[in-house]
Amino acid sequence: MTLHHANLTIGPFSFAIATDSDAVASDLARIYQHFGCRPSSKSARPDFVDFDIAVRTRSPLRRYIKPQIDFYLNERRPFKPLPRDQGYAMLEWGMNWCIANHAHQYLIVHAGVVERNGRAVVMPAVQGAGKSTLTAALVYSGWRLFSDELALLGLGDQWAYPVPRPINLKNESIAIIDAYIGGGVFSRPAHDTSKGTVALLQPPAASVEAMKIGAPVGAIVFPRYVPDSGVQLTAVERAVAFEEIIAHCFNYHLLGVEGFDLLYGIISASPCYTLEYSDFDLARAALAELVA
Amino acid sequence: MNSRDGTALVSRRFTVAPGVIVRSLDDCRVAFDTTTGNTHFIRSINALVFDLLASGAFTLAEIEQGLPLDSGETLTEEERLLIGTFLTSASQAGMLATQ
């Protein structure tokens, strides 16, 4: 069985990835095409990486009977195995986990982040609110992708920093976005995951090219897909936004007063809104006004 | 102090506890307790109480006297109750120190 190796630099992070799954290697090459990712059987691991990860089949027996796959960080398995055909999704979830659990030089918020006119819009939301779907629609319509999942907020300067990884779309959102952007490059869909059917959408080339360039936060928007709502942008009291955003942070309590000062600084300087949307074009126009 | 004891509440002097950082966001006070890492949001009349307690230690009566109310305005019974509840719960949460 061939072991495929790939090295990826995504925003401020570097990953060394290994997998014995041809399907995972193939998806990796396709989805990270703009990063110059070409998995190879030869390991050319750099001297230093932030995260040394692997996705490998569990055991020889498990290759044939209900095959399962494991995610490894530094040869340790932090999760239970998943069915092998969820291997690529597991790799992406594992990469999220690596960043969210280790990159404490940032305040990390569960949020989509997009940029336009040099200002970032941070969109915190719970899973299923439509954050990734809206992010995908925006970044294939002229906005720059920072992330559909993890807002990285710099402790020193209060800026947002990009980590433009693939956009994690679920269930009906996959076809909706594929139609809206006129055909996207997706990973093979993983069915019957804990989130339903999942497919990863390739990040736009322009966002990848600019992945080292951060931006000050221009607005905080709490998005929610509401059928037939068109678009409804409503100002939120900043203290309410502060309270809400804490609930979406991965490491606020770990950072202590640094996290508090950072969030206070951003929220006291940024307008805060809720956004109910069902129409991408209307939502895009409403958000564009915030950073005009 | 037994903060559930109404008599004790009246006789004690309250102040913002050391290690509590207070910031303003519009009409709300956001207090970060560096000891516990907890963040508290203080609104309405209690935001004014918190502002006062940040400047010194005061008894309940002094707090009621010292609040910056509009000329001629006095505290309602509901507001007095709110303040009493706030002093009790904020003391229990470690945001206020008592003397």
- Angle (CA) A131-A217-A292 rounded to 5° is 90
The answer to whether B8 and B94 are in contact (CB under 8 A) is no
Rg of chain A over Cα atoms, rounded to whole angstroms, equals: 19
CA-to-CA dists, residue A5 to A13, A32, A256, angstroms: 17, 13, 38
Q: Count CB atoms within 10 A of the CB of residue B11.
A: 12
The whole-number pLDDT of residue A198 equals 96
Confidence band of B8 (pLDDT split at 50, 70, 90): low
The whole-number pLDDT of residue A41 equals 86
CB-facing half-sphere around the CA of A255: CA atoms within 13 A: 25
Confidence band of B10 (pLDDT split at 50, 70, 90): confident
Distance, in Å, from the CA atom of A183 to the CA atom of A112, rounded to the nearest integer, reads 21
Contacts of A246 in chain B (CB under 8 A): 39
- Note whether A267 contacts B41, CB cutoff 8 Å: no
CB-facing half-sphere around the CA of A256: CA atoms within 13 A: 6
- For the stretch B47-60, pLDDT in tens is 999 999 999 999 99
Which residue of chain A is at minimal alpha-carbon distance from B28? A239
The whole-number pLDDT of residue B4 equals 47
- Note whether B41 contacts A238, CB cutoff 8 Å: no
Fold of A106-165+203-290: Phosphoenolpyruvate Carboxykinase; domain 3 (3.90.228)
Strand pairing partners for B22? B31
The whole-number pLDDT of residue B74 equals 84
Which residue of chain A is at minimal alpha-carbon distance from B23? A264
Question: Does the CB of B23 have a partner CB in chain A at under 8 Å?
Answer: yes
The whole-number pLDDT of residue A91 equals 97
Q: Look at chain A and count its residues.
A: 292
Q: Considering CB atoms only, which of B26, B32, B41 is closest to A257?
A: B32
The whole-number pLDDT of residue B55 equals 93
Which residue of chain A is at minimal alpha-carbon distance from B27? A239
Contacts of B32 in chain A (CB under 8 A): 257, 260
The whole-number pLDDT of residue A96 equals 97
Distance, in Å, from the CA atom of A160 to the CA atom of A103, rounded to the nearest integer, reads 14
- Note whether B32 contacts A260, CB cutoff 8 Å: yes
Distance, in Å, from the CA atom of A130 to the CA atom of A175, rounded to the nearest integer, reads 14
Select the residue from A220, A236, A243 to test the B interface by mutation, using most B Cβ atoms within 10 A.
Answer: A243
pLDDT(B28) > 60: yes
HEC secondary structure over chain A = CCCEEEEEEECCEEEEEEECCHHHHHHHHHHCHHHCCCCECCCCCCCCCCEEEEEEECCCHHHCCCCEEEEEECCECCCCCEEHHHHHHHHHHHHHHHHHHHCCCEEEEEEEEEEECCEEEEEECCCCCCHHHHHHHHHCCCCEEEECCEEEEECCCCEEECCCCCEEEECHHHHHHHHHCCCCCECCCEEEECCEEEEEECCCHHHHHCCCCCEEEEEEEEEEECCCCCEEEEECCHHHHHHHHHHCECCHHHHCHHHHHHHHHHHHHCCEEEEEECCHHHHHHHHHHHCC
Q: Which two tokens stand for residue A118?
A: 């040099």
Angle between helices A238-247 and A257-269 (to 10 degrees): 140
Contacts of A235 in chain B (CB under 8 A): none
The whole-number pLDDT of residue A58 equals 83
- Note whether A257 contacts B28, CB cutoff 8 Å: no
Compute mean pLDDT per 10 residues along chain A, 292 residues long, and list them. Answer: 92 96 96 93 87 89 79 95 94 97 98 98 95 98 98 97 97 96 95 93 98 98 96 97 98 97 97 97 97 94
Q: Report domain extents, chain A.
A: 4-102, 106-165+203-290
Question: Does the CB of B34 have a partner CB in chain A at under 8 Å?
Answer: yes
Angle between helices B45-53 and B77-92 (to 10 degrees): 50
CA-to-CA dists, residue B16 to A225, B35, B75, angstroms: 42, 13, 22
ipTM for the complex shown: 0.86
HEC secondary structure over chain B = CCCCCHHHHHHCCEEECCCEEEEEECCEEEEEECCCCCEEEECCHHHHHHHHHCCCCECHHHHHHHCCCCCCCCCCHHHHHHHHHHHHHHHHCCCEEEC
The answer to whether A88 and A187 are in contact (CB under 8 A) is yes
Which of A267 and B7 is assigned the larger pLDDT? A267
Q: Determine the distance in angstroms separating the CA of A261 from the nearest CA of chain B, rounded to an integer.
A: 9
